[in-house]
């Protein structure tokens, strides 16, 4: 297995616009790292620097423990799969899959059969041309071609974004299974946070030219580096709170704080941390106002009984446990919360 991928101090500007500003990122060997960030944050720029299509202004790229400064793209041992349309239209599937292989390997029919099997495509597809394939099948062939050369690193630039929901799910499954089977070190760019959380071993969040957080999907979702990351990777509901060090006292009960905070403020929690119970139970009582039904679960907007003021919250609950509009419920909180203190400067 290779030594993974590591970039250090990577900087890149276009004119006066600084896109990457001393960025560090390690993609562990044999694992999938998902790179997420807002549109225009520099995800594609980073991928192109790793691939060697562009040169950084500063910083280093190491792939499988080899420095890449003087290595041209075709000698970096990389497999690159862009959004769509990367197949050669005049070559068959077999011709595409074996394109990067030495002549002798190209004539070996087992290579094509093995690679198609790896991406869950029938071997009879080998003779078809790209225009005779669906978008999802084309992406699987593109991945088969990328993996055929046994690269040290696979780079995927939004490979599922042009596919509709059903095809996307199927293609995603086939692609991740193939990547896992070959233990390929992979960096996947996606603007779909749910996709990143479900597929990746590591999620890296790009903002303001640097990686603001890299960690397991669970860590990024449950212990986000700040409230901007928190909002980026999932829904949030804000609850006013008295911050007393390692606990926040809220109108619907106490909740633990992973980072100590003090004073008048608020906490940010995921809607699934707001637990709905019978009105007799729970720390506080509320009325369900609106229900946003989503099949397997739903979001409930709640108006909390308060002596003063007016507090609305959002809870997520399993589809069969959803209250009816107007129903009275009890509430409490679980897990830990991120403190949000007023006046903290917000970054874009």
Ligand X SMILES: Nc1ncnc2c1ncn2[C@@H]1O[C@H](COP(=O)(O)OP(=O)(O)OP(=O)(O)O)[C@@H](O)[C@H]1O
Q: Map residue 17 onto helix, strand or coil.
A: strand
C-alpha distances in Å from residue 76, one per residue of 100, 130, 254, 342:
13, 26, 53, 48
The smaller minimum CB distance to ligand X, of residues 45 and 250, is found at 45
Site string for ligand X, 11-40 (x = CB under 6 A): ---x----x-----------------x-xx
Strand order in the sheet with 284-293: 274-277, 328-333, 284-293, 297-304, 311-318
45 binding ligand X? (CB under 6 A): yes
Q: List the one residue from 191, 215, 253, 272 that touches ligand X (CB under 6 A).
A: 191
42 binding ligand X? (CB under 6 A): yes
85 binding ligand X? (CB under 6 A): no
The smaller minimum CB distance to ligand X, of residues 41 and 237, is found at 41
57 binding ligand X? (CB under 6 A): no
DSSP bridge pairs for 268: 238, 338
Q: List the one residue from 25, 27, 43, 205 that touches ligand X (CB under 6 A).
A: 43
320 binding ligand X? (CB under 6 A): no
The smaller minimum CB distance to ligand X, of residues 192 and 297, is found at 192
Q: How far is the CB of 43 from ligand X (least distance, A)?
A: 4
Q: How far is the CB of 44 from ligand X (least distance, A)?
A: 3
DSSP bridge pairs for 317: 298
Alpha-carbon distance of 10 to 21, in angstroms, equals 7
Sign of CA dihedral 104, 106, 109, 114: positive
End-to-end CA distance of the chain: 38
Q: Given the rule CB under 6 A, which residues bind ligand X?
A: 14, 19, 37, 39-45, 191
């Amino acid at each position: 297995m290779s030594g993974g991928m590591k970039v250090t101090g990577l900087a890149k500007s276009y004119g006066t616009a600084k896109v990457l500003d001393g960025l560090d990122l390690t993609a562990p060997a044999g694992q999938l790292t998902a790179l997420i960030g807002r549109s225009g944050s520099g995800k594609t720029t980073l991928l192109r620097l790793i691939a060697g299509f562009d040169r950084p202004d500063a910083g280093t790229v190491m792939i499988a423990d080899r420095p890449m400064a003087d290595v041209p793209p075709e000698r970096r041992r990389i497999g690159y799969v862009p959004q769509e349309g990367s197949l050669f239209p005049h070559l068959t599937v077999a011709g595409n899959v074996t394109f990067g292989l030495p002549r002798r390997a190209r004539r070996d029919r087992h290579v094509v059969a093995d690679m198609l099997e790896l991406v869950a495509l029938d071997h009879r597809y080998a003779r078809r041309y790209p225009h005779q394939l669906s978008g999802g099948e084309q992406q699987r062939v593109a991945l088969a071609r990328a993996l055929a050369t046994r690269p040290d690193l696979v780079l995927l630039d939004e490979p599922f974004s042009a596919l509709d929901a059903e095809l996307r799910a199927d293609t995603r499954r086939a692609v991740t299974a193939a990547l896992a089977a070959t233990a390929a070190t992979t960096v996947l760019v996606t603007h779909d946070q749910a996709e990143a959380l479900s597929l990746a071993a590591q999620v890296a969040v790009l903002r303001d030219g640097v990686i603001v957080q890299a960690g397991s999907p669970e860590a990024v979702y449950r212990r986000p580096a700040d409230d901007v990351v928190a909002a980026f990777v999932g829904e949030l509901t804000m609850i006013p709170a008295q911050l007393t060090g390692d606990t926040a006292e809220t109108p619907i009960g106490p909740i633990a704080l992973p980072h100590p905070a003090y004073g008048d403020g608020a906490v940010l929690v995921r809607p699934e941390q707001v637990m709905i119970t019978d009105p007799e139970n729970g720390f506080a009582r509320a009325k369900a106002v609106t229900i946003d039904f989503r099949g397997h679960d739903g979001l409930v907007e709640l108006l909390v009984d308060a002596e003063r003021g007016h507090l609305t919250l959002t809870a997520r609950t399993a589809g069969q446990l959803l209250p009816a509009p107007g129903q009275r419920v009890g509430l409490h909180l679980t897990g830990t919360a991120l403190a949000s203190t007023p006046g903290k400067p917000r970054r874009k």
